[in-house]
Structures are given as structure tokens and as C-alpha cells.
Structure 1
């Protein structure tokens, strides 16, 4: 038994947990940069509270029927933003 960090199959769950946490942080950071109501709406949808559409609509002061179309527009915006960031990785970490 070595004194170093685990290697092989036993290292993978920890590695996966770190990657999942980093992915979650990156997603929440991207959501916060969205315009308008998108950060609030997507934040509510991503919440661990597992809110219903009725609860989210009440919190945001929106009709329940408008959540789907607004969510779709927000996700489209998020997709375009992340696609642009992936296409231009040389800009990461640099001031713009």
C-alpha cells in the first residue's frame, strides 16, 4: 500500500466528483451572465429545491404559461454564449 493518492479504478469516483462540481460551477457562472430574467428563471430551474413551474412562476411574478417559452429563449441564449466561448478558448482568463 502506497502513501500517495489512490490510482486506478478507486480514483475515478473522486475524479468524477471533482469534474461534476467544476461543471456545475461553470454552468452557474454562465447562467449568472445571461440577460434579463434568465438568471432568475434558470437558477430556479437548477435549484436543489426542485420547485414546480407554479412555484417558479409565483416567485418570478410570471404566468405559468410563459415559463416554457422564456425558458426556451434563455436556454438558446446560454447555448449560443457557451458555443462562442468554446469556439474561442484562447480568450479564457484574459481581460476583454
Structure 2
């Protein structure tokens, strides 16, 4: 793919336990995170993604959908937690105490 000067290269990533999505592509300079997600086509594949509810980041740093992307950024869409990490730890400790 030829790179046009006013474009930047970005990635959009989303992972499930059994399936992952990673797409690297070029977008116009000034593209927001939300626009890049739309351009990636990920929501056509993973229809459960709800950008109103799910957290989004760039390289593990939480950010807002309207943030402007920089060349080389990786947009990450985070799945909602099924269980609070603190509650999960308590549950494991209780199970270990019973053994």
C-alpha cells in the first residue's frame, strides 16, 4: 500500500479469549480514535462492541474516543470485565482456604 504524505499508519486491536482482531492501515492525519475504529470495520465483525460503554486506549493508556491519533498508534478496545478483579481474588482465596 502506498503511503500518502498526509496519512498516518495506525492499528485497531480487539481480543476475545478465542479470537483476536488486529488491523493495520492508513488514515488521514487528524483522524480520531472513533473514526479509526469505524474505518477498520471491526464493528461489522464484532457486533457486540459498544463504544458508549467499552473503554478504549492507545497502547494500554485509557483515552477518549475523540482523541486525535498519531502515526504508529495502536487503538485498543477493551472488553468489559466479567468479574471484578478484587472479587475474583477473594473467591480464589476462599477456595484455597477450603482445601
Provide TM-score, normalisation by structure 1.
Answer: 0.28
- Structure holding more strand per residue: 2
- Structure holding more helix per residue: 1
Larger RCO (CA within 8 A; separation ≥ 6) = 2
Provide TM-score, normalisation by structure 2.
Answer: 0.28
